[in-house]
Amino acid sequence: MVIKGYLGIMRFLKEHLSAYNYSWMNESLFTGDPTRRLFNRYNGNQLLFIINLYASVTEEFTVNSGLKIEDMLMNQLPIDAKSEISVLKWLKQTTLLPVGLVQ
């Protein structure tokens, strides 16, 4: 699996998130490429990491796009999507992600 495009530029910020009750731990862990690390939808830093991976390969990304992804991750993510990689695979199948994001 290859993840392309994340340059660490945050287009979707903590201030953009909805009013879910997130924890804010382990900020330094969420850089670079996604891994098989367990995805915790309640970790705000990890949620921002996934949303910004999406944003980095989508030219038409907006704050509203990020809010939609946040809502999907909080309310629609299947239980079997346990790692960052599987979350991105699910997003690719659920949204119109560019083909090169997850292979």
CB 63 within 8 A of CB 16: yes
CB 56 within 8 A of CB 7: yes
- What pLDDT sits at residue 5? 43
Per-residue pLDDT of the chain (103 residues; tens, 9 = 90+): 334 444 467 788 889 999 788 999 877 778 888 899 999 999 999 999 999 988 887 778 889 999 999 999 999 999 999 999 999 989 888 875 554 454 4
Beta strands in 14-103 (DSSP E): none
Residue 21 to residues 5, 46, 61, 87: CA-CA distances in angstroms?
29, 14, 24, 20
- What pLDDT sits at residue 96? 58
Domain spans, the chain: 14-94
